[in-house]
């Protein structure tokens, strides 16, 4: 029996609340979403594996001998401060910036599926070059190609899932992006731990294993269908309706197809969608959509994913212990992401962000205090203190994973109208990567200078972003994807920027003038 899905909640009038989308969560949707999340799994693996191989002596001897020889002469906060080593890690973000600029075109003109296929090809080429690197140039080239592919996937995966999922389960299905991303991090931690024992080519195995999810990513791009909205936007209405009926499991999709058609018609009026982003009526979505990835990076959690193994080694843990601790953190991320999928459509987006913000704030203050009072510049802390730091890191990472990490792609994927969705997600990704690049590139420089104070710095930003969510982010739980603009029309602050639906119908806006 078909499930009725509310078009909107929490306002908009009785007439609007009575409108329902028909459909259920079909096995067809689950299969397509499962394949799409392999993009995220490969991205999570590749992000975390850089920190894992950087903690391996064989890798440092091969490509960064100065770091290997000089780390014993530096203090605990500065052992791995090397701009070239950090650039190897951060180049992933720098490359992703380029794909932020180019991805909207293939996404809009070729469709979501072909864009997934293209990114999968690029990722596999980069993986082969990186794993077979004979010099630093090949190593960086492989990582840059992977960064290009991951930049495309981070934009296309949430849009793809958002356009395929029924409204009542959209949050949970989009939450699988974080589950797969976290599983990729966990897999990278386990692989690093095992590969460290294989000398001298264990690091090649660790880098090459990224090709396992990458191959599923590539095959998925061949067999996945496109979304109804993308198919209709490219001029195939009959095929779009056929796909919609198939993924909803019912022919009664008139209302949802009507809303998609209206959104596509509006999208066709926007030729230069990057220029359209500056229009006043889109300002609320753009501010929220840009601030969320900024705050996502300012939690500091991605720096933990990058540098956790070498950070733990800086505290006196051995190579095996540091990699083992990193694997434990990956396991915590997987369990936390699974909890987010379970509760995101029950508790709502904002409640998860509140809880995660409080948990991260307390954890960072605790880590900062432990390091401030227990870690000397040159002597490692006691093993008990080191273990306490690892435990609190797990609490911190769990709070991040089931809140900001799970929802940083969900909310932007929901709030952007179709006519600007590709370009807006591009700008969203650009902000994510430019901030991420700077944190990854300068994290150890800041750590060396601020020492324990860097954790207080990130705690301050977590307090700011929690207040931002409370005041300015609308709740999108259960709202039909093409109806989320109504939330901004009714928001206490944003409604001054957004014309009501009635006003929009009465006043035809010439987008291309």
Condensed to tens digits (0 to 9), the pLDDT of residues 141-192 reads 999 999 999 988 877 888 888 888 887 787 778 778 877 888 888 888 889 8
* Containing structural domain, residue 52: 27-226+271-511
Q: Kindly report whether the global pTM for this prediction surpasses the value 0.85.
A: no
CA distance linking residue 240 with residue 276, whole number of Å:
26
What is the Cβ-side half-sphere exposure of residue 184, based on CA atoms within 13 angstroms?
A: 30
- Would you say residue 2 lies in a domain? no
The helix (H) or strand (E) run that includes residue 20 is strand 20-23
> What mean pLDDT do residues 246-254 have?
88
CA distance linking residue 336 with residue 22, whole number of Å:
31
- Would you say residue 244 lies in a domain? no
CA distance linking residue 102 with residue 121, whole number of Å:
16
Is the pLDDT reported for residue 505 higher than 60? no
CA distance linking residue 35 with residue 55, whole number of Å:
31
> What mean pLDDT do residues 237-255 have?
89
Q: How many domains in the chain?
A: 1
User: Which of 94-108 are b and which e, b meaning 16 or more Cβ less than 10 Å from the residue's Cβ?
Assistant: bbbbbbbeebbebbb
Q: Which of 258-262, 267-271, 352-356 has the lowest mean pLDDT?
A: 267-271
- Would you say residue 193 lies in a domain? yes
CA distance linking residue 24 with residue 284, whole number of Å:
31
**% helix / strand / coil in the chain, to the nearest 5?**
80, 0, 20
Is the pLDDT reported for residue 17 higher than 60? no
Chain-centre distance for alpha carbon 140 = 22
What is the Cβ-side half-sphere exposure of residue 304, based on CA atoms within 13 angstroms?
A: 33
User: Which of 425-447 are b and which e, b meaning 16 or more Cβ less than 10 Å from the residue's Cβ?
Assistant: bbbbbbbbbbbbbebbbbbbebb
- Would you say residue 256 lies in a domain? no
CATH number, domain with residue 171 = 1.20.1250.20
Predicted pLDDT at 357: 93
Looking at residue 508, the DSSP 8-state letter turns out to be: -
- Would you say residue 251 lies in a domain? no
For residue 223, count other CB atoms closer than 10 A to its CB: 11
- Would you say residue 444 lies in a domain? yes
- Would you say residue 10 lies in a domain? no
Is the pLDDT reported for residue 137 higher than 50? yes
Predicted confidence (pLDDT) per residue in 59-70, tens digit: 988 898 887 776
Residue 67's SS3 state is helix
Q: Are 50 and 305 in contact (CB under 8 A)?
A: no
- Would you say residue 116 lies in a domain? yes
């Amino acid at each position: 029996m078909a499930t009725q899905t509310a078009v909107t909640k929490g306002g908009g009038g009785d007439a609007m609340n009575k409108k329902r989308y028909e459909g259920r969560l079909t096995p067809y949707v689950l299969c397509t979403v499962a394949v799409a999340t392999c993009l995220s799994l490969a991205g999570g693996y590749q992000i975390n594996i850089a920190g894992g191989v950087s903690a391996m002596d064989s890798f440092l001897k091969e490509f960064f001998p100065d770091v290997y020889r000089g780390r014993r002469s530096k203090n605990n906060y500065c052992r791995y401060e090397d701009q070239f080593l950090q650039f190897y890690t951060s180049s992933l973000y720098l490359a992703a910036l380029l794909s932020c600029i180019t991805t909207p075109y293939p996404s809009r003109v070729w469709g979501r599926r072909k864009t997934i296929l293209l990114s999968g090809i690029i990722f596999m080429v980069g993986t082969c070059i990186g794993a077979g690197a004979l010099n630093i140039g090949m190593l960086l080239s492989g990582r840059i190609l992977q960064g290009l592919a991951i930049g495309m996937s981070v934009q296309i995966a949430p849009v793809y899932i958002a356009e395929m999922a029924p409204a009542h389960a959209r949050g949970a299905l989009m939450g699988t992006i974080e589950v797969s991303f976290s599983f990729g991090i966990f897999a990278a931690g386990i692989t690093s731990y095992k590969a460290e024992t294989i000398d001298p080519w264990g690091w090649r195995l660790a880098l090459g294993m990224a090709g396992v999810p990458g191959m599923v990513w590539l095959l998925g791009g061949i067999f996945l269908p496109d979304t109804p909205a993308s198919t209709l936007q490219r001029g195939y209405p009959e095929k779009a309706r056929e796909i919609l009926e198939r993924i909803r499991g019912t022919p009664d999709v008139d209302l949802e197809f009507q809303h998609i058609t209206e959104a596509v018609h509006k999208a066709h009026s926007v030729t230069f969608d990057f220029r359209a982003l500056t229009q006043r009526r889109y300002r609320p979505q753009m501010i929220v959509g840009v601030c969320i990835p900024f705050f996502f990076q300012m939690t500091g959690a991605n720096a933990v994913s990058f540098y956790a193994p070498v950070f733990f080694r800086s505290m006196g843990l051995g190579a095996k212990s540091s990699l083992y601790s990193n694997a434990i953190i990956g396991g915590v991320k997987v369990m936390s992401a699974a909890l987010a999928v379970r509760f995101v459509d029950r508790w709502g987006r904002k409640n998860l962000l509140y809880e995660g913000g409080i948990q991260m704030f307390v954890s960072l203050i605790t880590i900062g205090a432990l390091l401030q009072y227990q870690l000397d510049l040159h002597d490692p802390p006691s093993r008990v203190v080191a273990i306490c730091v690892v435990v609190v890191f797990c609490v911190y990472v769990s709070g991040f994973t089931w809140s900001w990490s799970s929802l940083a792609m969900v909310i932007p994927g929901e709030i952007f109208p179709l006519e600007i969705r590709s370009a807006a997600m591009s700008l969203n990704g650009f902000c994510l990567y430019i901030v991420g690049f700077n944190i990854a590139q300068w994290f150890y420089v800041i750590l060396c200078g601020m020492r324990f104070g860097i954790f207080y710095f990130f705690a301050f930003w977590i307090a700011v972003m929690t207040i931002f969510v409370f005041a300015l982010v609308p709740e999108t739980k259960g709202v039909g994807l093409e109806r989320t603009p109504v939330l901004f029309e009714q928001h206490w602050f944003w409604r001054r920027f957004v014309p009501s639906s009635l006003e929009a119908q009465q006043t035809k806006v010439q987008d291309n003038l």
